[in-house]
Structure 1
Amino acid sequence: MHDGVVPTAHLQATDEDPEARQVEKSVPGVEAACRPIVADDNGMEMEMKFVSKVAVILSLGLAASAAPAIAHHSFAMFDQDTVVSLKGVKVVQFRWGNPHVFVVVESGNIRYALECSSPSAMNSLGWKHNSLKAGDTIDVTMFPLRSGKPGGALKTATLPNGTVLGDS
């Protein structure tokens, strides 16, 4: 009767138009298409509220997970083309914590703050929270700070027992 084409005049069907109601019943899917969209708390508006809440939650989760990456610095401050060896230095402090492990060593009157990887990365390389203690005498290799200040990124540490521990 309509060959699958719905007459445009019938797309705006209302309850007051009996002829349009007849077309809606004879063509599958037309009845639903001709109903006016009414947003109520049980329909589209509720679905949109849910979608909006999910979008907000996902956005907050993404922002929270990106915060540590934004706060983290690069290792560009270290000259990774130069390796400095310090022999027989005394451990002043060994701080095991996030985001980085730190070793402070003393050679003569100079203190070097050596930045390491995260505790989890260090642990996977054989380090433990008690691998060093204040007063230990160790040898270290490091990538020095580009600024020339005493410090750098730890490359290796040779412990009092001869064990060599590296950093990633």
Structure 2
Amino acid sequence: MSTAKDAIRTLLNPRTYLQALKLANFAGYSYADQLARLHRGAGVRIAPNVSFRNAERIWVGDGSHLGENCVIWAGNSTGRIVFGPKCLLGPHVTLTASNYGIEQGTPVMDQPKIERDIVLGADVWLGANAVVVAGVTIGDGAIVGAGAVVTRDVPANAIVGGVPARVLGHRPSALVKAAS
């Protein structure tokens, strides 16, 4: 249990203030600076702790919502991320349009990056902790379950889940629900 003495020690420790400056710097380059470069449609809502990279190559469609602690990283030179209208991202979703090579003999960090676009259609919902990798297109109305890792394209209105993600079913149409 923390005591008053511990609290005073923390307040007097210069490392506390150095850490606060580091966090402010991170917020500046991963959020505030990036928002100015981001292409946003009308009515877009973005949690204040979303992390962006290369936002000049990110387009967020009208009415979309990006949840807490999402990581949205476009490629350094070509890989784009495009959201259709009304996309919904739960917390801790990661999209990255860039990946490293994996050849033996060269450290992964020294290999050239492979960049490919990520495209989300209209009305796509990505559940908490979902991951979407470079080169994936997710069709209109698709739902990606929590914790899924999407490594290949997802058809329209499909419900996918798992690692790697696979089709588990499809969203019912309004006509099917009305007939029930």
Instruction: Answer with 1 or 2: which has the greater Rg.
Output: 1
TM-score by length of 1: 0.28
If asked which structure has higher relative contact order (CA below 8 Å, sep 6+), I would say 1
Structure whose residues are more often helix by fraction: 1
